Structure 1
Amino acid sequence: MSRPFPIRHKEVVERYKPMQPKTHKGLQGHALIIGGSYGKMGSVSLASKAALKTGCGLVTAFIPKCGYDIIQTAIPEVMVITDSEEKYIFNINFKIEPQAIGIGMGIGQKPKTQKALYEFFKTNQIPLVIDADALNCIAQNPDWLSLLKPKTILTPHLKELERLIGKWDTENQKLQKTVNFCVKYDLIIVVKGAPTKIINDEMIYQNTTGNAALATAGSGDVLTGIITSLLAQSYTPIDAAILGVYLHGKTADIAMPEMGYQSFIASDIIANIGRAYLSLGTL
């Protein structure tokens, strides 16, 4: 197993695609964020706003009915589609044609939600980022892994990763098991942590941005929104993951001198995405 390849400024700038002066929202990608349940609509709000702030032209949220007023009020720029159920996802059905989908944040693990996820995974051909409870549902139903489109991006924290690949005793064993998992199912895994690592086939990338300020509720939801946005803007899955984790971490590095670690929250990641882009040295 090779040593992790560091994700530095140079590697990110080489992948970054500046916006064209005469572009419009229809050319900047349409991202769909699917998730939420009663009491957990904040996760969809954070992911959706992060997708917009990362440069996506259009963002739609697919949520249970109970979240309609919340999302429309919190983020007026985001469009909303509601499920037929009031408090949880029951039937994932939409007529729009997004370029990328982020799914799982706040979605819960109710049996009817799991059935909805299964039916969605069976037919979906749109580039996908899977997070949070959608990962936990897959861990309970490992046969679903064969349904996922090649190079689907999974964004687990360490406990979610353990549910997917099993326990490990050492860091090397964890990485080797993750590599084996990625190769077997042809997936990309973003292992959230300090530092965040990305595994693509047998290649391991290690992020060089970020600090302890990112250890806050909603940080992972924001990352999912960022990566989904980049996918919708026609970045390849691996480039979307690399650029996404770098920008995500860079926001905390930029904000830290003014805010410190303790007061930094997930909304501050979103507020600093523009400054993170500017740090790349080009508009």
Structure 2
Amino acid sequence: MGKLTNSYIKAGLKIREATSNKSDYGHAFILAGRRGMMGAAVIAAKAAARTGVGLLTVGVPAEERFILQTAVPEAMLFMREEDHYPLDRFSGIGIGPGIGTDEVSEEMLVSVLVQSRIPLVLDADALTIISQNKKLFSCIPEQSIITPHSCEFDRLFGMHKDREERINTARDKAREYHIVIVLKGPETAIITAEEVYYNTTGNAGLAKGGSGDALTGIITSFIAQGYAPDVAAKTGVYLHGLAADITLNEQSMESMLITDVLNNFGKAFEEIRS
């Protein structure tokens, strides 16, 4: 077991070369949002764009496309009604925030699980769908990252009396399914088959809707840029929390919004590098 520190994260942070271009930093694909939940797609997309990915495509319902294109002009658009998901174009794929749990959403998730040849980032409604159909665990690509909070974790793996029990179960499940588990909460834990790391950044200002959507976007961005899944998870969690800590210089925990946190990602990168 270990703790994430600034020096640990800094050692793994990639350097952007002066002669590089957007193709050097991957292409992320995020499937998120539905009617009434497009904020989840916007937040995840902005988080990915703010954390260095070269190209970003966001899959949303066609009727909601104008929200995404207006809010995140840096992102390209994929309309989810299309029959074919061109997954081979992407180096990082995240799915779940705000997609819903209806039959159409389940079919979309199953299609992505079956087709993907790279690790996925699975969050929110994607985890709810899997919790309702445990057979889908066998379809998750190896080294994928799941990011449950405690209630989602218990829906996936059964009730637990405390965090220690969840950590023990997470270690077993990480080995069984060959995945990375980000157990969100105070001192978010990043669990692999070999290790458990606890985060040292973040505050209760993140205990609001949208925080998990941002984390999905961040980790998907780092995967797309070529970070190993466990490193992407550790770096994403640490940066997310550090930006929230920096935001306390401008807001209180009560008034902090996830959009305030997104705007401080640049300062968080600077602090890690310093």
The one of 11, 14, 30 aligned to 1:14: 11
Give the distance between the partners of 2:207 and 2:164, measured in 1 at CA.
Answer: 23
1:93 is aligned to 2:90: no
Deviation at 1:123, TM superposition (A): 1.7
- Measured in 2, the distance between the counterparts of 1:166 and 1:127 equals 24
Match of 1:157 in 2: 149
Alignment check: 8 A CA contact 2:138 2:177 kept: yes
Output the aligned Cα RMSD: 1.4
Find out whether 1:23 has 2:20 as its counterpart: yes
1:131 equivalenced with 2:123 (yes/no): yes
- 1:43 is matched with which residue? 40
Could you say if the C-alpha distance between residues 246 and 41 of structure 1 is closer, same or farther in structure 2, counting changes exceeding 3 Å?
same
Aligned residue runs from structure 1 range 130-279, under 5 A: 130-279=122-271
What are the superposed Cα offsets for residues 54-86 of structure 1, whole Å, 9 maximum, x if unpaired?
Answer: 00111100111122000000111111011228x
**1:51 partner SS:** helix
Shift of 1:96: 6.4
Runs of 5+ consecutive residues of structure 1 not aligned to the other structure: 86-90
Q: Say if 2:56 is the partner of 1:59.
A: yes
Residues of 1 paired with 2:64 and 2:195: CA distance?
39
1:88 is aligned to none
Shift of 1:217: 1.2
Q: Which amino acid aligns with 2:263?
A: A
Answer yes or no: is the 8 Å Cα contact 1:51–1:59 preserved in 2. yes
1:132-176 CA-to-partner distances (Å, cap 9, x unmatched) read: 000010111111111111110001111111111111123322111
Partner AA of 2:124 in structure 1: A
Residue 95 of structure 1 and its aligned partner are, at CA, apart by: 6.6
- Would you say 1:68 and 2:60 are equivalent positions? no
| Worse-matched range after superposition: 61-70 or 109-118 | 109-118
Distance 2:5 2:20 in 1: 28
Q: What do residues 80-118 of structure 1 show as CA deviations (whole Å, max 9, x unaligned)?
A: 011228xxxxx5623760100110000001012212211
Residues 189-232 of structure 1 show CA distances to partners (whole Å, capped at 9, x for unaligned) of 10110121111014111000011111111000000100000001
The DSSP-based 3-state class of the residue aligned with 2:215 is: helix
Alignment of 1:106 with 2:106, yes or no, is no
8 Å CA contact retained: 2:87, 2:115: no
The one-letter code matched in structure 2 to 1:272 is: N
Q: Scaled by the length of structure 2, what TM-score is found? A: 0.96
Q: 1:181, CA displacement in angstroms?
A: 1.1
Aligned sequence identity (%): 39
Among residues 77, 81, 89, which one is paired with 1:80 in the alignment? 77
> Does the CA-based 8 Å contact 1:100-1:232 persist in structure 2?
yes
Partner of 2:111: 119
**C-alpha distance in 1, partners of 2:185/2:92?**
24
